[in-house]
Amino acid sequence: MRKFLSLAAALAVSGPSFVVMQGASEAHAAALTLTETYDPADWTDSKNAVGSILADVWSVEAKQEFGAYGFAYAIIDQGGKHYLVSSLRGANCTPSSCTWRIQRLSSSYAVEAKGSAFEACGEINKLDFSGGRLTICGTKAVLP
Higher pLDDT: 9 or 136? It is: 136
In this predicted structure, what is the pLDDT of residue 31? 57
Average pLDDT of the chain, as a whole number: 78
Mean per-residue pLDDT, 34-51: 86
Calculate the alpha carbon distances from 3 to 13, 14, 72 in Å: 15, 16, 20
The answer, yes or no, to whether residue 119 has pLDDT greater than 90, is yes
CA–CA distance, 143 with 133 (Å, rounded to integer): 8
User: 137: buried, middle or exposed (CB in 10 Å: 19+, 13-18, 0-12)?
Assistant: middle
Asked if 129 and 102 touch (Cβ cutoff 8 Å), the reply is: no
Lowest mean pLDDT among 3-12, 32-41, 135-144: 3-12
Domain assignments of the chain as residue spans, ordered by start:
2-141
Residue type, 1: M
- Tell me the per-residue pLDDT of 51-97, one tens digit each, with 9 for 90 and over: 999 999 999 999 888 888 999 999 998 888 999 999 999 988 999 99
pTM above threshold 0.85? no
Beta strand residue intervals within 38-136, DSSP E:
70-78, 81-89, 98-105, 111-114, 118-120, 127-130, 133-136
Longest CA span, the chain? 48
